[in-house]
Every structure is written in C-alpha cells, then in structure tokens.
Amino acid sequence: MFQSWRLQIREAEQAYQQGRLQEAGVLLCENDLRRFLQGRRLAARIAVALAVRAQRHLAADETSDAWRVFDSVCELGGETDEVVAVRSELMRRAVLQAETRLAAQDIEAARYHLENLSRRELSNDRSRILQQVVEIYHSAGVAEEQGDFNRAEQQWRAALALRPDIESLQQQKDECLVKWAQCRELVDQLRRAMLCGDWSQTLVVSDQLLEIASEFALAQTARRRAWRKVESGGSSDEVLKQERLKHEEGLKQTEYRAPDFSATQTEAVAAVQESQQAMKMLLWVDGVGGYLMFFQDRITFGQAIPGNDVEAPVLADLKRRHAVIQRRADGYILEALGPTRVNGVAISGKTVLADGADIEFAGGVRLKFRQPHPLSASARIEFVSAHRPPSSADAIIMMAESCVLGRSARNHVVCRDWANDVVLYREGGELFFHTMERLEVNGAPCDGGGRLGPGSHVSAEDFSFYLEPVL
C-alpha cells in the first residue's frame, strides 16, 4: 500500500512546481513531512525559492511583502546563502528605517520596525542599542509631560551616551533644558501668586505650565484650586487686596538682613560657616519618620565614635572618614575614602551619583541615593540596611533650594496620607515654608507660609512635623 505521507509530499511537490511556494511550505509543515528525507529535501528547495522571491520584493522596495515571504522561509528552516542574504538585508533595512523614524521623532514607527526584529529573534547589537534608545526616548517624553525635567534630562544624556550620532537626541536634550528653565521660573511665579491669593494669576501661570508639561501635578492641583476660588467669588478685587496686604506685611516681618561686610574676610567666612552649622536640623514627621537635614553642599560619612567630627556619623564598622558626597552644579559626586561600592561596582575615587544609585560601605552599610523631585536639586539618602546615625534618622536630606513633603513619590519626604504638599525653602540664609492649607506653627495660626527654625512645630488637621536642632 502506498503510504499516505508519500501522497502528501507529492502534493507539496506539485504545488512547488506550479509556483505555489507558500502553499507547498504549509503542506510540509502542517503534516510534519520534514521528518522524512524527501520532505527535508523539498523544504530546502522551497526555502531557496522563497528567499529568491523575497529578494525580488526587496529590489522593488516592497519590504512588508519581503517580511511576509521571509516568515515562510523561517518556518521551513535551512541556512542557504540566499536565506542568509535576505535575513541580513531585512535586518539592515529595519534598523535603518528605525533610525530614520527616530530622527523624525516618530517613536511609534521606530518601535514598530525594531519589534519586527525582536519578535522574530533577529536582533543584533546595533538594533538592541537602538531599542534601548527608543525606550529611553519614550520614557523621557513621559517625564517631561509630568514636569519631571531632572529625570528627563538624565534620560536624554543616557540616550546620547548610547547613540551620540543621532542629532535629534541632542536637540531633545537642549529643548528639555529650556523647558526646565521655563518651568522653574513659572513655578516660582505660581507659588507667589498662590501665597498672595491671586487666583486669576494662578490660573494664567498654571495654564502656561500645563502647555509645557501637560501632566504636571503641581500645576493641575493649583489650577483646580484656583477655579474653585474663582467660582466661589474668592478672587474679588477686595479679597485680593487684603491677601496681598497680609502677604506684604508678612514679608516685612521676615525680611532678611544682609551681613555686615565691613568685617574681615576671616570673620565673614566664620559667620557663614556658623550659619550653616546652625541650619543643621532633624526633621521628625509624625507617622513617617526622621530625616537628618543638611544645608551645606558637602557631607562626610564616617564611624560614629567620640571625637570623630563628621557630618554624617553612622553606627557601623566604618573608617573615621569613609566617604564624601558633594553637590555640584552638574549633579552629585561620591568620593570613596574607604571600601565603597556603587551599583555593585567597587569605587576607588570619585563617581557621579544618579537617581536610584545603590551605595554600599564596608560593614554592610547600604544606602540608596535619590534625587526625586523634578524642580529641586535636593537629594535624599536612604538607610537601606539597619545601620543608622546616632539620631536614629531614617534618611538624610541634602537640601539645596527646597525640600518637598507630601504624598507624591517624587517628593523628598513621602507622606502618603497628606492632602497637600508642604514646601520648605531657603531664602536669605533662613528656612521658610509654604503650603495650600491652614495650619499652626508653635500653636499660632498660620495661613499659607512662614519662617521656620530649630524648635518649630508645624501641625494641621492631617499632619504634624517638628524641627529639632542637631548638636
């Protein structure tokens, strides 16, 4: 009796002879005829013929049709010269098309071409790097929409490090820096407008911010509050006048007096250092934790032993001076003075700290470096291991111009149960705060903002925090 598989191979052979190549391939694959020698030989001939057809599609610039035919070749298997040539050309074109679309800032089209490769497991080093750039491009765009320009700028720098030859990446990074500067200025205007109760101006500025960053949470919140005030009649001229008079009177009471520069330079430097020393505080937030706040640009970590005068002593087996973290104009630098690892890599000198960096000192001391807020150069250094400073603080805040407390994960101090943010900020060598709700400072009612110092107790309906001096 003539075996059925021979009839099936004969049917596939007939389809091949008549030019119905894909149908012939389907017959071989569906019936598992390649387990027979005759089937394998026929599959190889069909694959070559399909590869030649794919080459004709490529010559006619019909890339989609070439991919469709090539998929049939892959099902048949085989590594002939024709198949290898088609695969190489399709990969080259996919990467080139992705680069072209990326240069035109068409991210979805670039991603489509690269996914054509990864879906077929045809990626190479060049396409994988480009895939990373596309994903970074997307995440940087999302960060900009959210107003997180610090993270976006870091993303653009990372993309440029991977593909410095793509000009659009440098253009996007430059535009990001321009937007960042615009947002900084507008956020300052927004805060002043809200502190003055100028809700009409708040609406104008928040709209300007949302034109730059459509998902900027601060601008969205300010806009909603302003609309409620406007609709309730809270923006009348008389109300605005009273609010402005109140705010101006508050500014007079908290006016910063410039130092007397008639003193010697040594005395002036000593005065600045004394002022900075006095501005070290321990921030205790009820229900959240303790934060050791530093106002200088440089802090040294070391072992917490008598006589070791370092800014950040840790109860652990460290060197007296183990590491230094310094804030500079271009970011944060860690200088290792003792055994230190950053992201698992041993550091013998200086290295740049990026947001989310894991730091490990000798003795199992593990820290995480965070620079979470898009509009602030301040950083948070979390104690991941059980080691703590003598003050038992949960983290260190290196405060630049501001420190934001609130429910957002992008804040320096995350307080998930709070309804509104509280912003601490430095001005004229002193510490101030502002928020969008009524509260009390040391038991006295306070509306919107004021001055803080060691010993201040701030409380509202849903939160309270203390500032204690650090000796």
**Domains defined for the chain, CATH in brackets:** 4-123 (no CATH), 169-252 (no CATH), 274-291+399-471 (2.60.200.20), 296-375 (2.60.200.20)
Q: How far is Cα 465 from Cα 456, in angstroms, rounded to an integer?
A: 8
- The two beta strands, 402-406 and 413-414, are parallel
pLDDT at 358: 96
pLDDT at 258: 34
Q: How far is Cα 427 from Cα 280, in angstroms, rounded to an integer?
A: 15
- Longest alpha-carbon distance in the chain: 116
Helices (H) and strands (E) in the chain, counts: 13, 20
Q: How far is Cα 460 from Cα 315, in angstroms, rounded to an integer?
A: 34
pLDDT at 25: 67
Main-chain phi, psi angles of 298, to 5 degrees: -140, 130
Strands (DSSP E) contained in 176-322 are 281-285, 289-294, 298-303, 312-314
On the 0-12 / 13-18 / 19+ scale of CB atoms within 10 A, 24 is buried
pLDDT at 322: 96
Q: How far is Cα 435 from Cα 424, in angstroms, rounded to an integer?
A: 9
Report the residue count for the chain. Answer: 471
Radius of gyration of the chain (CA): 32
Which of 71, 69, 64, 70 has the alpha carbon at shortest distance from 97?
64
Q: What angle do CA 283, 426, 323 make, to 5 degrees?
A: 60
Main-chain phi, psi angles of 302, to 5 degrees: -165, 180
Main-chain phi, psi angles of 468, to 5 degrees: -110, 145
Q: How far is Cα 113 from Cα 95, in angstroms, rounded to an integer?
A: 7
Residue by residue, pLDDT tens for the chain (471 residues) are 345 777 777 776 776 676 677 766 666 666 676 677 776 777 767 777 777 777 776 677 776 777 677 777 766 776 667 777 777 777 787 788 778 877 777 777 877 777 777 777 776 777 788 888 888 888 888 888 888 887 788 888 888 888 888 888 888 889 999 998 898 888 888 878 877 778 888 889 989 999 998 888 778 877 887 887 766 654 444 444 444 444 344 434 433 333 333 333 344 334 334 444 445 789 999 889 899 999 989 999 999 888 888 999 999 999 999 999 999 887 899 999 999 999 999 998 899 999 999 999 988 999 999 998 767 889 999 999 999 998 889 999 999 888 999 988 889 999 988 888 898 988 777 888 888 777 888 888 887 778 888 888 998 888 889 898 776
pTM score above 0.75: no
Q: How far is Cα 388 from Cα 365, in angstroms, rounded to an integer?
A: 9
For residues 98, 162, 89 and 110, what is the CA-based torsion angle, rounded to 10 degrees?
-10
Q: How far is Cα 433 from Cα 362, in angstroms, rounded to an integer?
A: 38
Q: Between the CA of residue 116 and those of 102, 146, 371, 409, what are the distances in Å?
A: 15, 30, 37, 36
Q: How far is Cα 162 from Cα 130, in angstroms, rounded to an integer?
A: 8
- In the DSSP assignment, the letter for residue 46 is H
